[in-house]
Structure 1
């Protein structure tokens, strides 16, 4: 069983810490009436230099962090330390437009937010319908996709005149049935969005919500669009599964 520390050993440490670690060991020894060698031994064994420094409460001398803060409940204007989900705020865009939209979203009722999703998906569906019809089955779009250039000297040896000339062009030909098939795929994605939004809304809305009647009208219109899309889909299949054609020509060749 180890012997307890002597009172002088503990008192020596307290005197040294009380002096902010500035007091000489010989002065401590004189004050306690013991030899300086014994104080040095205690300092080494007890690792005085490794004892962490206690920080005083409050700010350091000269600290002006609290200037202008009279205290009281809450922080100064603009302080957002207590914002709910503030841990994620620093990862969000800080531009004024985004923050304005975010603030508006916070003030929205969750049911209104779902209804907005329904209306947006429905508007996209109607807009898609106006783009899906092809007026001519033989219609073809020729689109320039890529060009290659060479620098050619059109001047003389004495007076060079360098110009950039097109030497090769790459075209993409998209036929009517291919564009129609792409539109139908886009329609399917939008339709999925709309069905999901409607399902969420009906699950959350009360039975007497007047917007349920609007959903019935929407559904009637969607059913009509679905019937039209099935006809278009059949027409696209009848035309055959023909791929987009890509043609590469040298400049000067006829396409």
Structure 2
């Protein structure tokens, strides 16, 4: 039976469309920032935000005699408004959705690296179901070519035996886990270099992640039900 959608998704979306930053949304809803960021991408909130901006851009300007631009030569943004200065170059050459992503990205090196750790870890978890091999009789047959001739019809098929698929999976998983280990090591090293500047959340992440990777490698449990681990990654029900 499918799980009911998390009601906080709509709450977070409404807040985002009002212009509230992802970090603030996460704080108000008591969620990890990565969870809110994942919801934003999965449910394409930016497309709705762009539609609202487009609607506003077609509205008429201020009425005649408006004092809005007084003291603001040329009607430009106030001097203290740094948005144009900070993102003007990107806005000129990149799509609006890309600029929106840049504006929402974390700037702290530890948070940037942590996002990469989560992405790498989530990819490994997702691969468990995609590359799952049921048993030794789990054979995949795929037609990879078809050609109709005057007298002969030619077809080409690729057959993957269970041991082929399992071997490919183990090799891919080993490479992915090596990448994840490297990212965790980088995070740990950077954390201790910046220990006095790091937040309590940034410090607690390593212990949490090591507990999660114990689950992945099977040190503490059998890896039969991935729901619990995915909940650890994403911070709540899917």
TM-score interval, normalised by the smaller of the two chains = 0.3 to 0.5
Q: TM-score, length-normalised on structure 2?
A: 0.47
Whichever structure has more helix as a proportion of its residues is: 2
Q: Work out which structure has the larger RCO, using CA pairs closer than 8 Å and 6 or more positions apart in sequence.
A: 2
Higher fraction of strand: 1
Larger Rg: 1
